[in-house]
Amino acid sequence: MNGAAPVIEARDLWRIYRQGAITVPALRGVSLTIRAGEMVAIMGPSGCGKTTLLNCLAGLDEPDAGEVWIEGVPLRALSDDQRTLHRARRMGFVFQTHNLLPVLSALENVELPMLLAGMSARKARQRAREALAAVQLADRLDHRPAQLSGGQQQRVAIARAIATAPAIVWADEPTGNLDSESAATVLALFQRLNRERGQTLVIVTHAREVSARCDRVIRMSDGQILA
């Protein structure tokens, strides 16, 4: 593991939110290295900057200072369009709220980002079917989100995140809204993806059951990483 190439690197990240006269320093000099194939948990109290860090690492937000490299590519050197493309090709996202579109079926929800990224309908359908089978929802393709349990909805969101076989999967409190049984299913799934596909997983979580299964825990407090 330690010999694997760094897939995510951050050096001295600062992110300061400004609203009128109030400034909130959400990240205060964060540096880290995550290697290919690692499954890492980011933990810390509410408001300590976990989501801000994830967003800056993934290029969804821009730090005020510092640098992020993804697979050796400095995010700052990319245009907005290049960053978006890089994300679409190399990253998957799972959030606490699944963000599924209520009028679309499970299959259509998984297909949509691939279609938007310009993939052919046939290929997108095939990948969506495979991804839903991987999360054990092959028998729920035509169900809409409201016809699925919370755990199943989150598995559809995971299928959507992994359908393009991304190098990195980011998850922000992915089990936060789930009962413990659904959470365990989702967690086992993440672990399988990590082991069988070698995907790098970065999971923000409060749950010790989640962090206990990770290779490493990064602890944050007040915008900084604790040694």
Ligand X SMILES: Nc1ncnc2c1ncn2[C@@H]1O[C@H](COP(=O)(O)OP(=O)(O)O)[C@@H](O)[C@H]1O
Q: 199 touches which of ligand X, Mg ion, none (CB within 5 to 8 A by kind)?
A: none
The total number of residues written for the chain in this structure: 227
Q: Which stretch binds ligand X (CB under 6 A): 48-56, 88-96, 102-110, 174-182?
A: 48-56
Q: Which is nearer to ligand X, 49 or 166 (CB)?
A: 49
Binders of Mg ion in range 37-56 (CB under 5 A):
50-51
The DSSP line for 155-221 is HHHHHHHHTT--SEEEEESTTTTS-HHHHHHHHHHHHHHHHHH--EEEEE-S-HHHHTTSSEEEEEE
Spatial separation of the C-alpha atoms in residues 18 and 8, rounded to whole Å: 27
Q: Which is nearer to ligand X, 135 or 203 (CB)?
A: 203
Q: According to CB under 6 A, which one of 8, 13, 52, 164 is a site residue for ligand X?
A: 52
Q: According to CB under 6 A, which one of 35, 40, 43, 49 is a site residue for ligand X?
A: 49
* 208 CB neighbour count, 10 Å cutoff: 11
Spatial separation of the C-alpha atoms in residues 109 and 115, rounded to whole Å: 10
Q: 87 touches which of Mg ion, ligand X, none (CB within 5 to 8 A by kind)?
A: none
Q: Which is nearer to Mg ion, 51 or 200 (CB)?
A: 51
Q: According to CB under 6 A, which one of 7, 10, 13, 26 is a site residue for ligand X?
A: 26
